[in-house]
Amino acid sequence: MRKKTRVAILVLSAALSLPALLAAEREETVQPRFKQEMLTQYKRLQTDVQFQAARKQLRGNVLNRPVVDTYLRALTIPPLEMFNLEMRSRRIDLAVPDFIETYNERWKELHPEAARRYYGEEGARRNPHVASIEQLRQLQDITEKKVVVGPNRNMAIDAAFPPVFFQSEVQIVVNPNNPNQLVAGSNTAAGRDIITCGRTVQSILYSSNGGAHWDRTCAPAAINYGLDCAALGGVTSGSDPALVWNTNNEVFLSHLMICFNGNFLFSVVSARSQDGGATWSARGVVKDSWQTGELEDKEFLAVDNHPESPFSGRLYTCWGHQNDEKIAYSTDGGATWTERDLPAWSPDSLDINCEMAVQKDGTVHVVMETVFCDATDCHDQWLYHTRSSDGGNTWSAPSLVAKTNLVAFSSGSCPDAQNFRCVGSLGAIDVDNSNGECSGTAYVGYSDFPAGGNVNNMDILVRRSTDRGATWSAPVQVNDDGPGGNLQFLPFLSVDPIKGQPVLAWADGREDPANLSMDVYASRSTNCGQKFKKNLKVTQPSNEFNNSTISWSNESDANPNRNGNQFGDYMGVDARNGKAYVAWTDSRHFFPNFNPQRENIAFAVVTFGPPAPDDVDAESQEQTLKLTWKDHPKAADLAGYNVYRVSKGVYTRIAHVSISGKSLTAIRTFSDPVKSPGAFSYAVAAVDHRGEEGPYSQVVSPAGQ
């Protein structure tokens, strides 16, 4: 049995260039005098409550280091012996899986005295030739991988004035006309985070090369809006950045402009950049409450980018005014705004948080949270939906999306990883505006824990509506870590407008038994949100951070330099053409080893499926259109290519070109026998052997068309 296992490991290790996966040369065998003891322990474990509970947690978590360690600590005999006795009792004969050998080596580390007793001094030492759990996870990623995560970038790595105070609540957006143009925004510590434009209220980062390099600037100061905080005896700060691109290559920013003069005074403002985020001009004041002292909070921004919509080009922003949700629209690029009230679920509730999406027919969708509070605590939190079909003037009666067990501002809303800031379910909404089979479907993502559970055991859930928000499906769980009591929160959702696939990213504690160190995970659905794909860990070790060997961030009490915002209320995700652009608050630069940069924004690109082919070209040949292209240098496991005709944003698949083998110099071809070759545009997408299709290539037309 051992030899079968070693052969499998050897073959896979050669493909991966991981010498540590080579087979072990020495046999670790429990001394014969302990065989009867092993059998007795095995029988006892069948009824041991602690062990059986730990074993149950392994389901779906066999390479989850914290869950495996819990199981191995409860296991009183070596895993190899456990496996052999299991096979014997069930009357079956299997080759020893590689992970059982890995478990055995880890068990020896967790039970050093027992290991020396059973194996002797030599056998008790860890065998360096047997894969660790982390190496097996790398192996699984490569053999099962359908996505590629780009490097984790520290957005401030090239900054002349890097941040020295907190950065939180990140948004990121991609130019729909040019995916190389990216803009991200975050909260920052005004007045202490000094950059070239002086005191700032929002930190803005921008890239013109797909995130390979980032520059940093700031939003316009309050005085540019006619808001004079100094005259009120105060200082300014900002909060809650929201960003959108329109189809005219303009990017818009909305945020809270806060004046503190002993009291907190709030306004909502908008700004515009016409050069990819490098410079910004103040556009207008959505709501000015500096004189009244009324509360304004948690605004988001949306734009109607759909030429077929009667309201194309219109900007929308929603926010909470005195715990009552408002919305405003602008028809002049954010200079002036028309305010409307959003319908409340109940006159007795507090409305908190909103998020928006615009459907291609011009329908505006909003998801909001409502909660009931008394003198001692809050209870009964609901997510509900409303929509407008007339450009934001009137709104439908609320429809219930979900009643959550998580209740914001309650005594049970503070997970250990965010126990100062605490959390709300904060529903995120988007609509499928592609021309695919799921077109028009609305999705809401949120976090919640099961009935009877607690806030440290939250999951990421999605509900969908196919009738414009009138009714909503049962929840679908997105995180796939199983019943391990892990914390998942801060989900943000974006629907790829080209591929039509909902994509979510979130903070995830599955790697840490204490639920304190958070990685970022992501997933997508390719079947209209009925099921989500295997979760992908977006955070990876990166030499752009001071603590380069870890992937996680920690904003809990374990981090003595954490800030009061912790992770904030949301992170940034924008999905487009088979890719997800993800940005998040990251503490790796200063924790666990200190660095003066207290916090940074991190960024990565996730590519779903194989990369798009290179050098796609179209050529008219009488009544035939000839397409040519090359394999992408990083493409692997290719089965072929799908060829699409493209017209007005509609991708119609017309052929599949199968391939065998792979040569980086190979020219792939396809001929389309059409009477008017110049009447069509074309795109090509690579497909792997699991049927996963990657991003579309650039759209091409015959020369002169």
Q: Do 555 and 489 form a contact (C-beta atoms < 8 A)?
A: no
The pTM of this model reads 0.79
Rounded Cα distance between 312 and 304, Å, is 5
Which residue type sits at 344? Answer: A
Rounded Cα distance between 184 and 500, Å, is 23
Give 422: exposed, middle or buried? Use CB within 10 Å, 0-12, 13-18, 19+.
Answer: middle
Largest Cα–Cα distance of the chain, in whole Å? 86
Tell which residue, 133, 145, 127, has the closest CA to residue 62: 133
Q: Do 555 and 562 form a contact (C-beta atoms < 8 A)?
A: yes
pLDDT of residue 140: 47
Instruction: Report in angstroms the alpha-carbon separations of 418 from 210, 422, 508, 516, 563.
Output: 31, 5, 12, 8, 10
Which residue type sits at 670? Answer: F
SS3 for 429?
strand
Interval 346-388: pLDDT, tens: 888 889 899 999 999 999 999 999 999 988 889 999 999 999 9
Rounded Cα distance between 322 and 295, Å, is 5
Q: Which residues are CB-neighbours of 261 under 8 A, at least 6 positions away?
A: 229, 232, 233, 234, 235
Q: What are the tokens at 467?
A: 């009738």
pLDDT of residue 686: 94
Structural element, H or E, at residue 80: helix 79-90
pLDDT of residue 484: 67
pLDDT of residue 39: 87
Q: Where does residue 119 fall: left (phi above 0), alpha (psi -120 to 50 degrees), or beta otherwise?
A: alpha
Residue numbers in the chain where pLDDT is lower than 70: 1-29, 59-60, 87-98, 129, 136-147, 161-165, 189-200, 483-484, 596-598, 661-665, 675, 677-678, 703-705
pLDDT of residue 214: 93
- In the chain, % of residues over pLDDT 90: 59
Beta-bridge partner residues of 370: 351, 382
Interval 243-294: pLDDT, tens: 999 999 999 999 999 888 888 899 999 999 999 999 999 999 999 999 999 9
Angle at which helices 112-124 and 98-110 cross, to 10°: 110
CA 688 to chain CA centroid, Å, is 23
Q: Do 473 and 463 form a contact (C-beta atoms < 8 A)?
A: yes
pLDDT of residue 98: 64
Tell which residue, 665, 524, 501, has the closest CA to residue 577: 501
Cα radius of gyration rounded to whole Å, the chain: 28
CA 437 to chain CA centroid, Å, is 24
Rounded Cα distance between 234 and 226, Å, is 15
Angle at which helices 98-110 and 65-74 cross, to 10°: 70
Q: Which DSSP letter does residue 308 get?
A: T
